[in-house]
Copies of this chain bind each other. A is one copy, B any other.
């Protein structure tokens, strides 16, 4: 936990922004795997955590009554007989005290408390739930049909939270550096150990161990694959072979739930093939071009298009694309090879605040999120501000299903040399990803630098 002052100040700021009503923060519950009491690792809701600092306790709610200047934590301490299972747990009152919250009530008091607010005609604001349990609870507590819960989310509340959480404080930056350094350790391990004969899952397991040993957990499911052409292809029991290039996209989150997110692509054997190195250097060049463009006031959508242009230029040089590259990118032809976005905000969530809605988090009233293939997967488009933290992750992906589908439809034949692409059907995919904080004048890398050029990666393996 940060200091009490941090949480008190965050809540004061939030109250000043939302101005009236009741703000409801459901804490997450346990999540069942194959029966009710067999749980996935507990993950607190990030907004709950941001405003209270209370982690690792399930089934608690927090509430701010702005109009009456009350803050209440709803929850129950375990009984001695429950502590037979759970062990010693600090009382909620201690957590409330550390967070500067004055009142603790039983969770049993929550439904009647909320009913009372409703009867008084008061506005109960909540953020859009992303877990079904919470949707059902909100439906019950606030007497809203389950299907209506999402629609009745509070836009005012969402916008205030997004504004606040987007700009990272110096104490948050420290946690993010820590998360990215654990993440870099995972990548260094993968580069050295993901060698022929190992399965993808063996390496992925070891990477998760590094994240867990770092005090928290993985920040998202590990992508460790010889099939990097599929963007979110998780580790399987496939055996790594000589000649494979391995795409590793993974991250740790700290005990306070701050995330890291990096990608490295490297040869399973000792060295890249000349062709692999050629494609790698196109991606790296786009990556470096994007980083140089980062600064306050720049639209991330423009950085995305700049990197896309760089990728397309590289593809033209080796004969996979043709024609006017500016026109090709404007038309979206490059998205045959780069189907996703250049990056996203990162913080207490690896895709920061994605639960609040991408339009609110990455775009503005004047800049709506695109619905086109490729651009629709760009999670951040708006103008950057000092204190934003984001990823830069261009890539080139040779997806045989997409190639066949577009070729059959004669899509972008002015810009794409489908015949040339044939020899890349089994190439795979390459991505290079790092995390940055936007400063007053540009950007700064999060974490210590890790091998990034083909040469440095090969050296790390030797």
Residues of A within 8 A of B (CB): 31-41, 43, 45-46, 80-81, 83-88, 130-133, 135-136, 139, 146, 199, 201-202, 204-206, 208-213, 215, 220-221, 227, 229-233, 235, 237, 255, 257, 339-340, 348-351, 353-355, 373, 397, 399, 401-402, 404-405
Contacts and interface: CB of A to CB of B under 8 A. Distances in A.
A283 B141 CA distance: 47
Contact of A35 (B88, B255, B354): B354
A231 B351 contact: no
Given A31-B40, A36-B130, A84-B340, 13 more contacts: A31-B31, A33-B40, A34-B348, A35-B353, A38-B349, A41-B221, A80-B401, A85-B231, A146-B146, A202-B209, A205-B209, A205-B213, A208-B208
Given A208-B208, A209-B209, A351 B87 contact: no
A130 B205 contact: no
A212 B221 contact: no
A146 to B, nearest CB: 6
9 contacts: A34-B45, A38-B350, A38-B354, A81-B405, A83-B399, A85-B231, A88-B227, A88-B401, A202-B213
A210 B215 contact: no
Contacts of A201: 212-213, 215
A84 B230 contact: yes
B221 A401 contact: no
Contact of A46 (B34, B43, B232, B235): B34
Nearest to A404: B80
A34 B43 contact: yes
Contacts of A237: 215, 255
A58 B121 CA distance: 41
Nearest to A213: B202
A211 to B, nearest CB: 7
Number of copies of this protein chain within its complex: 2
Contacts of A210: 205
Contact of A132 (B88, B136, B233, B340): B136
Contacts of A146: 136, 139, 146
A19 to B, nearest CB: 27
Contacts of A83: 230, 399, 401-402
A108 B51 CA distance: 40
A112 B41 CA distance: 36
Contact of A339 (B39, B84, B131, B139): B84
A15 B39 CA distance: 32
Given A231-B85, A233-B87, A132 B130 contact: no
A135 B130 CA distance: 15
Contacts of A227: 87-88
B202 A205 contact: no
A137 to B, nearest CB: 9
A351 B37 CA distance: 10
A355 B339 CA distance: 41
Contact of A86 (B39, B139, B230, B339): B230
Most buried by B among A38, A135, A220: A38
A344 to B, nearest CB: 11
Nearest to A39: B221
Nearest to A43: B33
A139 B404 CA distance: 41
A41 B34 CA distance: 12
Given A208-B208, A212-B208, A36 B84 contact: no
A76 to B, nearest CB: 15
Most buried by B among A139, A208, A401: A401
Most buried by B among A45, A80, A202, A227: A80
Given A34-B45, A205-B208, A355-B35, A84 B130 contact: no
A130 B86 contact: no
A320 B81 CA distance: 20
